[in-house]
Every structure is written in structure tokens, then in C-alpha cells.
Structure 1
Amino acid sequence: MFAGFDIPQWFSSLPIGMSKESAYAFAAENVRAYSDGNIERERALLNEIRGCSLALEQVGVIYAGAVLGI
């Protein structure tokens, strides 16, 4: 089986099972660029991404990605 897709400009791999520390590191590289300096928006995005990461870990996902900034 072969699957292919075009990767959008804002695509980023999403680490599975992020700790709080790794979530903040991820935010430093990705989320802050999309929050436009709004701390509440940054915090909401960070919490959402970390929650998704932990949920993916619980169901056994091996790899995930997300399109941020649209």
C-alpha cells in the first residue's frame, strides 16, 4: 500500500505523549508564532496541543502531525 499527500506550509509533526517541559519547548518553536503575542491564546493553544498529544499516546498512536496557523 502506498499513501501520499502534499504537506501544507504550516504542517508540523506533533510529538506523542508530551510532558509539560516538552510541550513548552514545542510551543517555543511552533505555537508562539501563531499566537501573535497574545498570552491567553498561546496558553490555550499549548493546552490544546498537549491534551491532543496525551490523548494520542493513550490510544497508541505512533506518529501524528498538525497544521497550525491557518
Structure 2
Amino acid sequence: MRRHSGSRQPWDPAATHHWLFEGSQWLADQLGVSVVETPGGHIPQLTHAAAYVTMLRPTFAGFGM
């Protein structure tokens, strides 16, 4: 996980963009699924490709892929 000096994590209510996490959490609750944190920053498929694929594999396996 990428951390920036002095920044807060999105699940921290004091974080500037906490409302984005709250929206994601609300949608996940409505769908009956969990919020999953992806490795890396804004484009994990580029910056942390192997870890991203490892994280996604169980999701695709659930769809029979």
C-alpha cells in the first residue's frame, strides 16, 4: 500500500476524501460484498500489476473464469 507523508488513509474519518470511502462502503453494503483495498496508487494495474492480479484472481474465480 502506498502511503504519503502526512496523509491519512481514506477509511480515517479525518481524511480529506473520506466521503469517497463512505460511498464505496455504502455501495458494497447494498451489494452484500466487502470493500477491498487494491495495492498501489491510482493505477495499480500499471504500478503493482502482479499484486493486483493476485488480488483479483479470487474474484474472477467466483465468476467461473
**Structure 1-normalised TM-score?**
0.34
The higher relative CO (CA closer than 8 Å, separation ≥ 6) is in: 1
**Structure 2-normalised TM-score?**
0.36
